[in-house]
Amino acid sequence: MPQPVERVGRPASPGIFAGPIVELRGPDMPADGADCDALTEADALRDALEVATAELRALHDSAPADAKGIVEFQLAMLEDPTLLEPVMERIMTGRSAANAWLGVLALQIADYEAADDDYFRARAGDLTDLKDRVLRLLAGEADAALPAGAILIGEDLPPSRFLAIDWSKGGAIVLERGSPLSHVAILARARGVPMVTGLGEVPAIGHVEAIVDGTTGRVVLSPDATSRLSLKEAEQAFAAEQKEAARHRSRPAVTADGIAVKVMINVAAPAETEAIDSAHCDGIGLMRTEFLFRDGHRLPDEEEQYRAYRRLLEWAGDKPVTVRTLDAGGDKPIAGLTPENETNSFLGVRGLRLSLARPDVFRAQLRALGRAAVHGKLKVMWPMVTVPEEFTAAAALFDEELAAMRGQGIACARPPLGMMVEVPFPALLPELFPMAEFFSIGSNDLTQYVAAASRDNPAVSGLADGAYPAVALLIRRLAEFTTAHGIELSICGDLGSDVEKVPDLLALGLRSLSVAPAALARVKAVVCRSRLGGGS
Amino acid sequence: MSESSAARSVLMKHPVGLHARPSVKLTRLAKSFRCRIEVAQHASGPWIDAKSIVKVMALKAPRDSTLHFRAEGEGAAEAVNALSALVARDFDEDHADAATS
């Protein structure tokens, strides 16, 4: 029996499953295939496309309503002469059918992968799915049905293969790449199939069994008795929690003694909101904007940002959406933007400091936000504010851009401006920031600056946890200050999603929490169980 | 009916733009007409075949862009009217499922 191996990836669909491992393999890459007989290859391609069409039609007929669109798109692609003509042209020059198909599809896929819009980018996965199906057929491999009740481990899982599996017998998905925003992840969440993505290489060889915890992103290969026991407990807790959370999802969060608490969500990419009904939360308490600067090779323009913000505001309807301006630096470097080789990046040019140092990038974001503000209840929040002058400087830049846009006749508005409280200075002296219309506690950074210990470094993370009493004291003082002055206070760090800490946060005086979308229902459930007694 | 031509423009309000599912519907409808139908994001072109999903998707037309249709041949007027109406009806989708399309 091999030693247990544990990996943690990005949770993509909650739930726990233990079972046998099945490795997912993509189709073999076709040989170079020069000097082939064109007529034979053309026939082979036609046959493969015919079978692929038949397979997809059958899949379409049995697919649930939410998945039919995915299959229809692939069918439409297969029927389009624009896709097939260049493949035939390549075959006529002596390429093998597989080589010609792969070459043309790879160009299409690369085009989608380069798209600015994440919805278009996600279609690369659908085309890869189609590409692999036809390659399999050309190689003479049948559409090897994947077994039910297994943990599928591989680089990626195409949506059509997901749909061909009988998930009623359980199972889980573990992907080396993949994304919580992919079609497969959406389907997995809808069916309650636990899924973890972005694990990097998983050394599954030699292992026959695994445990997958899609709630935390934990995967254990060849689990020992201890892992099994902790799994059983986690499984029971998860089942009980699901049951209770389902009852609370659509209800307002009100404590057992009748105190209303706002529960909002933290969003890292607009597509995350698609699985959530905006009626089930009190808005977005933290919209991160780092996603716009993905890969770091190109800065997004004003128009692209405007569209992304507007889409979120429309999703939220009359509920507030708090957008945090770019928070790069520290553990979130962006090539060409954040300083390189900073000796201590967590104490360096990051967050608002970086935006003020790069007004060209910052102004584009402010203009996009000003334009988006006319479409809903936008609020704008500065990250990593240390001194009041930074807040004032950022607000002045915003006002300049708004005035310029009004001069040009561009529709825009000034949203309420607030700030993250994650540096100890403003946490200790919030009275020096009377210009802030709201505060949101960034408990992750606040904790590590209070403890001078990184939470990501296992050697010192205990110190960060140990600093909680001091962080709690700062939260209590902030709550007292904001209540006395009628300023809104929220928390958007991990503490707010920690169900064990939520009752304590309420006792400290917080009445607004912004939590991870996956934690929304269980945080509401904890709020409803809490009793604050006389104090508020 | 003899050879004819027609053109029409329509503002697209679909929240994610001319995406997979709307493109499937648009090309399917276009293919139900015998005339040649082209679509463009600008009145000056470039014009692309409205019956090809590969080309329609390659437009990557975002929401709030105007789609221009032009058709030539049998039923050209009906074709541009039907396609414009589909876009104006938001591709008969409610926005909740647009995200997964």
Q: Does the pLDDT at position A332 exceed 50?
A: yes
Q: Does the pLDDT at position B97 exceed 60?
A: no
Q: Does the pLDDT at position A134 exceed 70?
A: yes
Q: Is this prediction's ipTM beyond 0.95?
A: no
Could you give the residue numbers annotated as active site of A?
183, 492
Note the pLDDT tens digit of each residue in A54-104: 999 988 888 777 778 888 999 999 999 999 999 999 999 988 999 999 999
- Report how far residue B50's alpha carbon sits from residue B23's, in angstroms, rounded to the nearest whole number: 9
Are A69 and B49 in contact (CB < 8 Å)?
no
All residues at 6 or more sequence positions from A225 whose CB lies less than 8 Å from its CB, including other chains: none
Note the pLDDT tens digit of each residue in A290-319: 877 765 456 788 998 998 899 899 999 999
For B101, the closest of A69, A117, A311 (CB atoms) is: A69
Q: Check if B68 is active-site.
A: no
Note the pLDDT tens digit of each residue in A168-203: 888 999 998 777 767 788 788 877 899 998 888 877
All residues at 6 or more sequence positions from B27 whose CB lies less than 8 Å from its CB, including other chains: A76, A80, B50, B51, B52, B53, B56
Question: Once rounded to an integer, what is the mean pLDDT over residues A9-26?
Answer: 86
pLDDT of the residue at A8: 87
Q: Which residues of chain A lie closer than 8 angstroms to B60, CB-CB?
A: 115-117, 120
Are A307 and B62 in contact (CB < 8 Å)?
yes
Contact A289, A314 (CB under 8 A): no
Cα nearest neighbour of B101 on chain A: A69
Q: Which residues of chain A lie closer than 8 angstroms to B21, CB-CB?
A: 69, 72-73
Sign (positive/negative) of CA torsion A59, A62, A64, A68?
A: positive
pLDDT of the residue at B89: 84
Q: What is the mean pLDDT of chain A?
A: 87
- Report how far residue A255's alpha carbon sits from residue A528's, in angstroms, rounded to the nearest whole number: 4
Test mutation, B56, B57, B64, chain A, max A CBs within 10 A: B57
Cα nearest neighbour of A110 on chain B: B58
Note if the pTM is more than 0.80.
no
Note if the bond before B46 is cis, omega within 30 degrees: yes
> Per DSSP, what are the bridge partners of residue A284?
A265, A321
Confidence of residue A36 (pLDDT cuts 50, 70, 90): confident
pLDDT of the residue at B99: 37
Confidence of residue A493 (pLDDT cuts 50, 70, 90): confident
Q: Which residues of chain B lie closer than 8 angstroms to A271, CB-CB?
A: 99
Are B99 and A126 in contact (CB < 8 Å)?
no
Q: Could you tell me the two tokens for A4?
A: 């247990």
Are A66 and B17 in contact (CB < 8 Å)?
no
**Using CB atoms within 10 A of its CB, is residue B19 exposed (0-12), middle (13-18) or buried (19+)?**
buried
Q: Which residues of chain B lie closer than 8 angstroms to A77, CB-CB?
A: 53-54
Half-sphere exposure of B60 (CA within 13 A, CB side): 16
Confidence of residue B3 (pLDDT cuts 50, 70, 90): low
Q: Does the pLDDT at position B72 exceed 70?
A: yes
Cα nearest neighbour of B20 on chain A: A73
CA angle (A273 as vertex; A269, A274 as ends), nearest 5: 115
- Closest by CA to A48, choosing from A110, A91, A93, A94, is A91
Chain B residues bordering chain A (beta-carbon distance below 8 Å): 15-17, 19-21, 23-24, 27-28, 49, 52-55, 57-58, 60, 62-63, 97, 99-101
> Which H or E run contains A27?
none
Q: Could you tell me the two tokens for A311?
A: 């889409």
Rounded to a whole number, what is the distance in Å from the CA of A242 to chain B's nearest CA? Answer: 24
Contact A464, A447 (CB under 8 A): yes
> Which H or E run contains A242?
helix A225-248
Q: Which residues of chain A lie closer than 8 angstroms to B19, CB-CB?
A: 119-120
Are A66 and B15 in contact (CB < 8 Å)?
no
Q: Does the pLDDT at position A506 exceed 90?
A: yes
| Count of pairs with CB atoms under 8 A, one residue in A, one in B | 64
Test mutation, B23, B38, B48, B100, chain A, max A CBs within 10 A: B100
- Closest by CA to B72, choosing from B24, B38, B26, is B38
Are B15 and A76 in contact (CB < 8 Å)?
no
Are A82 and B49 in contact (CB < 8 Å)?
yes
For B15, the closest of A72, A82, A314 (CB atoms) is: A314
Q: Which residues of chain B lie closer than 8 angstroms to A63, CB-CB?
A: none
Name the one residue in this structure whose structure tokens are 């209070």: A450
Are A117 and B62 in contact (CB < 8 Å)?
yes
Confidence of residue B100 (pLDDT cuts 50, 70, 90): very low
Beta-carbon neighbour count of residue A256 at 10 Å? Answer: 11
Q: Which residues of chain B lie closer than 8 angstroms to A120, CB-CB?
A: 19, 57, 60
Q: Which residues of chain B lie closer than 8 angstroms to A116, CB-CB?
A: 60
Chain A residues bordering chain B (beta-carbon distance below 8 Å): 66, 69-70, 72-73, 76-77, 79-83, 108, 111, 115-117, 119-120, 123, 126, 183, 186, 271, 274, 307, 311, 314
Are A73 and B24 in contact (CB < 8 Å)?
yes
Cα nearest neighbour of A185 on chain B: B100
